[in-house]
């Protein structure tokens, strides 16, 4: 069953439907309309578009925040209850909200200048990371 006005089924976690969208030739517009992908680009523009996106992310975001968000996104798919995703997200907000990168982000915004994030995903992850493998942690 589809949601009114949406090309995706009401159960957005339907891996079968997402697989159909990802692996069939004419599904790009449907995947974009349904929010499965953020944009559709021509084949010859794909690599340049991906590089532009990666450059923007690397230049304008905290590496630790991106690493946490990425893990929450992918690991959250396998969690047994939304409450577990909320627990992990709350820990992320708590720890990152007190971080040097958060302070830098706020100051750079107030001072209207590019941020200079210093935290590294290789050395500065919060103490609860990695959380998967914990009982009930996803």
* CATH code, 127: 1.10.12.10
Q: Alpha carbon of 106 to those of 10, 90, 92, 101: distances in Å?
A: 38, 19, 17, 9
Q: How far apart are CA 45 and CA 53, in angstroms?
A: 12
User: How crowded is the C-beta side of 52, counted as CA atoms within 13 Å?
Assistant: 6
| 22 is a domain residue | no
pLDDT one digit per residue (tens) for the chain, 138 residues: 444 444 444 445 566 776 776 676 667 777 777 777 888 898 899 999 999 999 999 999 999 999 999 999 888 888 888 898 899 999 999 999 999 999 999 999 999 999 999 999 999 999 989 888 755 444
| 8 is a domain residue | no
Indicate the pTM of the whole model. 0.69
What's residue 28's pLDDT?
75
| 21 is a domain residue | no
What's residue 14's pLDDT?
65
Domain interval for residue 65: 61-138
Give me the number of domains the chain comprises: 1
Find the helix or strand (DSSP H, E) in which 67 lies. Answer: helix 63-76
Q: How far apart are CA 84 and CA 80, in angstroms?
A: 7
């Amino acid at each position: 069953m589809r949601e009114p006005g949406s090309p995706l089924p009401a159960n957005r976690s339907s891996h079968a439907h997402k697989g159909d969208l990802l692996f069939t030739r004419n599904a790009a517009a449907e995947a974009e309309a349904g929010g499965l992908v953020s944009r559709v680009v021509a084949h010859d523009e794909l690599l340049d578009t991906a590089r532009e996106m990666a450059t923007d992310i690397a230049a304008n975001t905290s590496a630790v925040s991106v690493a946490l968000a990425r893990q929450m996104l992918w690991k959250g798919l396998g969690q047994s209850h939304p409450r577990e995703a909320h627990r992990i997200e709350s820990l992320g907000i708590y720890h990152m909200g007190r971080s040097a990168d958060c302070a830098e982000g706020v100051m750079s915004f107030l001072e209207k200048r590019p941020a200079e994030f210093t935290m590294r995903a290789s050395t500065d992850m919060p103490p609860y990371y990695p959380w998967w493998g914990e009982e009930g942690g996803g």
